[in-house]
Chains A and B, each alone.
Chain A
Amino acid sequence: MFSLESITNAVQDWLNANFSPMWALIIQCAIVILLAMGLFATLGLVLVLMERKVAAHMQIRLGPNRVGPKGMFQTAADTLKLIMKEGLTPEGADKLLFNLAPFVVMIVSMLLLAPLAFSNGFQLWDLNIGVLFISAVSSVSVIGILMAGWASNNKYSLLGAMRSGAQIVSYELSAGLSIISIVVLAGSLQISDIINSQQDGWWIFKGHIPAIISFVIFIIAVTAETNRAPFDLAEAESELTAGFHTEYSGMKFALFFLAEYINIFIACAIGATLFLGGWMPLHIGHWQAFNHVMDYIPGVVWFFGKTFFLIFVIMWFRWTFPRLRIDQLLNLEWKYLLPISLFNLLLVTLIAIMGWHF
């Protein structure tokens, strides 16, 4: 059966046989950096194109279809354009913070890549508090956004950044609570343990209705955390021109743009890992024959399939729902999502203690 683990093991053995341990480690780091950057660049290109195509088809349009076959090179051409543009720094801006902010946002996305399991044994860092690491680091991105808004010396940027801060801080709660409900069921914070606990069925099926509720809440919360419509108040084209990245141009703007899509990918990958079993194929209880057939599809295909399905759902939200007002946004979180997820957490705990899940 095809497995990425055998490839990584072969590479490691070859490096250890030919180099000293230190050099082997350095070369491994270089390979990982290369892979991560390659993944980011490809994701940026693919997701932007996917967004535009999905948007177009939902609005009965065709979308980009001129550059390359079916418009496949449109985003590559756009990136080339952005690279060649001047990265302007405004006169009154705080130069250091202004230039640092896009990199902070980008580094946070890169850090979140570390605990993700792409396939069986294909994981950068399987630390024993993986879920905690994810929810802790993902809230650092708000610092980058506040930095950008503050340093731009522009009232719209500052307003956008402040809104974004209020939004991320509030929605972190319900995202965290819905993640905790899965941690309660799986009994571990380690990503590989959580995936292995879904060997006989994904948590969204095994955890009955409370798992479905916490999945829905998780999707809503990550949509808000990644500043996507219908929660895109931080950008709010009609009111704040572009929010915190109004003053950015060229490649620095592209970094923000890329970080948004990478964040969506990572949020959806975490959702897929916790609720839909990560790279674990679709297994149903003790149906040995069915489970065996499903095992023939490699884990990486399952992982990306689930992740892209969730990304599609989030894009579907964006092109269907109108934007919320700031008071409605906070009402939704504090009056609806938070009480529901607290109550839901109680139910999940009861299920976990009584062993009612499959």
Chain B
Amino acid sequence: MAFIKQYISEVFGAVRSLWKGMRTTGRYFVRPKEIITQQYPDNRDTLVLPERFRGEVVMPHDENNEHACTGCTACELACPNGTIKIITKFDITPEGKKKKALDTFIYHLELCTMCNLCIEACPTDAIKMAKNFEHSVYDRSKLTKRLNKPGSKIREGIE
């Protein structure tokens, strides 16, 4: 008797679990609003990317053409495949002291894997990931970018 009881409960359990799965897919079928497909080239203007999307590394500059990079090379050391190369220079402070500062921030987009380690390593949040993903160019050398704008300098008060 116990065997038959177990057999029947197995059959019912199986039917119930199958129905549960069918309910999930059926629910998606009757709700076309939840479709997540982005019809990309058509909706280029209204495309909404997720907040944590990683497109390329950029360095934000404020309206005075000032950035937050101290040239500490933490990002260069954190990068696993040599994407970032930082060239430093020495600024003369008003007190007449020499101070290390950023000269050129070179970023090789063609080598970058968008791993986000440089952004995490940066102590001053000088760089961040942009949401741009249309990177194709006709000349490979255009992928080697200089992130700090010409004539820019470090923002006041960032050590």
Is B64 among interface residues, defined by CB-CB distance under 8 A? Answer: no
CA A54 to CA B30, docked complex, whole Å: 10
Chain A 318-341 near chain B by CB (<8 Å), digits 1 or 0? 011100000000000000100010
Contact A316 to B18, CB < 8 A, known contacts A60-B34, A62-B39: no
* Complex contact A321–B32 (CB within 8 A): no
* Complex contact B35–A62 (CB within 8 A): yes
Contact A316 to B26, CB < 8 A, known contacts A61-B37, A321-B18, A321-B21: yes
Is B11 among interface residues, defined by CB-CB distance under 8 A? Answer: yes
* Complex contact A60–B36 (CB within 8 A): yes
CA A60 to CA B34, docked complex, whole Å: 7
CA A320 to CA B11, docked complex, whole Å: 19
Is B93 among interface residues, defined by CB-CB distance under 8 A? Answer: no
Is B25 among interface residues, defined by CB-CB distance under 8 A? Answer: yes
* Complex contact B35–A57 (CB within 8 A): yes
CA A317 to CA B99, docked complex, whole Å: 69
CA A65 to CA B26, docked complex, whole Å: 21
Is B46 among interface residues, defined by CB-CB distance under 8 A? Answer: no
Is A58 among interface residues, defined by CB-CB distance under 8 A? Answer: yes
Q: Which residues from chain A contact B24 at a C-beta distance below 8 Å?
A: 320
Q: Which residues from chain A contact B22 at a C-beta distance below 8 Å?
A: 316-317, 320
Q: Contact residue range for chain B?
A: 10 to 19
* Complex contact B11–A58 (CB within 8 A): no
Is B53 among interface residues, defined by CB-CB distance under 8 A? Answer: no
* Complex contact A58–B28 (CB within 8 A): yes
Contact A59 to B28, CB < 8 A, known contacts A316-B22, A320-B22: yes
Contact A57 to B29, CB < 8 A, known contacts A62-B35, A336-B11: yes
* A43-95 at interface with B (beta carbon < 8 Å): 54, 57-62, 65
* Complex contact B25–A58 (CB within 8 A): yes
Q: Which residues from chain A contact B35 at a C-beta distance below 8 Å?
A: 57, 60-62
Chain B 107-146 near chain A by CB (<8 Å), digits 1 or 0? 0000000000000000000000000000000000000000
* Nearest A residue to B11, CB-CB: A336
Q: Which residues from chain B contact A316 at a C-beta distance below 8 Å?
A: 22, 25-26, 29
* Nearest A residue to B14, CB-CB: A336
Chain B 13-48 near chain A by CB (<8 Å), digits 1 or 0? 000001001101110110010111101000000000
Which residue of A61, A62, A319 contacts B25 across the interface (Cβ within 8 Å)? A319
Q: Which residues from chain A contact B32 at a C-beta distance below 8 Å?
A: 57
Q: Which residues from chain B contact A340 at a C-beta distance below 8 Å?
A: 11
* Nearest B residue to A54, CB-CB: B29
CA A161 to CA B28, docked complex, whole Å: 35
Q: Which residues from chain A contact B29 at a C-beta distance below 8 Å?
A: 54, 57-58, 316
* Complex contact A320–B25 (CB within 8 A): yes
Q: Which residues from chain A contact B25 at a C-beta distance below 8 Å?
A: 58, 316, 319-320
* Complex contact B18–A62 (CB within 8 A): no
User: What's the minimum C-beta distance from B118 to chain A, rounded to whole angstroms?
Assistant: 34
User: What's the minimum C-beta distance from A322 to chain B, rounded to whole angstroms?
Assistant: 9
Q: Which residues from chain B contact A62 at a C-beta distance below 8 Å?
A: 35, 37, 39
Q: Which residues from chain B contact A57 at a C-beta distance below 8 Å?
A: 28-29, 32, 35
CA A311 to CA B18, docked complex, whole Å: 18
Q: Which residues from chain B contact A59 at a C-beta distance below 8 Å?
A: 28
* Nearest B residue to A336, CB-CB: B11
* Nearest A residue to B23, CB-CB: A320
Q: Which residues from chain A contact B37 at a C-beta distance below 8 Å?
A: 60-62
User: What's the minimum C-beta distance from A213 to chain B, rounded to whole angstroms?
Assistant: 10
Q: Which residues from chain B contact A61 at a C-beta distance below 8 Å?
A: 35-37
CA A320 to CA B19, docked complex, whole Å: 10
CA A65 to CA B42, docked complex, whole Å: 12
Q: Which residues from chain A contact B18 at a C-beta distance below 8 Å?
A: 320-321
* Nearest B residue to A58, CB-CB: B25
User: What's the minimum C-beta distance from B22 to chain A, rounded to whole angstroms?
Assistant: 5
Chain B 66-84 near chain A by CB (<8 Å), digits 1 or 0? 0000000000000000000
Chain A 2-30 near chain B by CB (<8 Å), digits 1 or 0? 00000000000000000000000000000
- 15 extra A-B contacts, CB within 8 A, seeds A60-B28, A316-B25, A336-B11: A54-B29, A57-B28, A57-B35, A58-B25, A58-B26, A58-B29, A60-B37, A61-B35, A61-B36, A62-B37, A316-B22, A316-B29, A320-B22, A321-B18, A321-B21
3 tightest Cβ-Cβ pairs between the two chains A and B:
A58-B25, A62-B37, A320-B25
7 A-B residue pairs with CB within 8 Å: A54-B29, A57-B29, A60-B28, A60-B34, A61-B37, A316-B25, A316-B26
